[in-house]
Structure 1
């Protein structure tokens, strides 16, 4: 993977650290340089464009839209000038943009996106998919545990002890990475019920007579 790899909007949201709605909004408004975006039915955003999205929304309370877009254009030119395959390393001209009295430092946004990008790559490496294993359902590599089942338990707010009991082979890191992968690659179709409760059976049933208000 390179920093110019084109990501789906759900992936770009994870790497940018913003919501999916914000990613689509950035595409629609032309926030990013054209070469960092692919339009059409299969929208894509380059990984290196993610910190620029993070900056656009992260600095909204301090800078006007015009100031943010102007700074993004400057940084975009610097990234393009580096090489045909830019990465998250500091460009020769740095991440600071100066415009008159205004000085804007992109470094925190670049660093944050780079860390999220690396963590997402670890999440991708954790997951495997094969037609011979659960008909191609994404699973934790080396197991038959569906990634989205683990993530659903996390999203449902299940206590970590209960998740560990349901998936004893997974540690905290792999559980967190599974949730990250699922956020970037949401399951298609109707969501399943809480996976930890799948296969549960009724042990007893007790009916309680409701008292009439007296």
Structure 2
């Protein structure tokens, strides 16, 4: 069995539910063949989220880490790059709102995902009805904070571990989706797509050469 760590976030702001954590739990209950998934919930808090993440990585010693976060998008956004900046437009769950602060003062400007992101997108769309695409930005809020922090951890303490980040949609019962303000997808469908993300990443270390860029 290959050990895999999947993280999701606690509810944020006025929400009482976060599908990123629900999806992580579903993956733990029903992992891809050959994988043993441990799901860990991260606080939606700058700094503290990285402490919990580091503890989880060191405790579970996974071969692969997939961090999952919520975004008002219409499918799975497989993130390409994390940047070394916290620039928060709103406070986190602890009221913190860092602006123009580096995540790791001694770290590089950016890290790329070490997952085969284009191959993942291709396989999700082949094997499921879930939309997927390569995303060029994870924002500058806690999701990017965790993505960069994960990749910095793996680069400096990670041995042979690989990792990446995927943004997922709201679920239909969440308030913003009920009001028609954001797209929605049942968490079971999201978990199905994430299961393909994991199985593809575990089966392939190299990516495919296809265009997945943007003009702006």
Which structure: larger Rg? 1
- Relative CO higher for 1 or 2, CA cutoff 8 Å, sep ≥ 6? 2
TM-score > 0.5 by shorter chain: no
The structure where helix makes up a greater share of residues is 1
The structure where strand makes up a greater share of residues is 2
Q: TM-score, normalised by structure 2?
A: 0.25
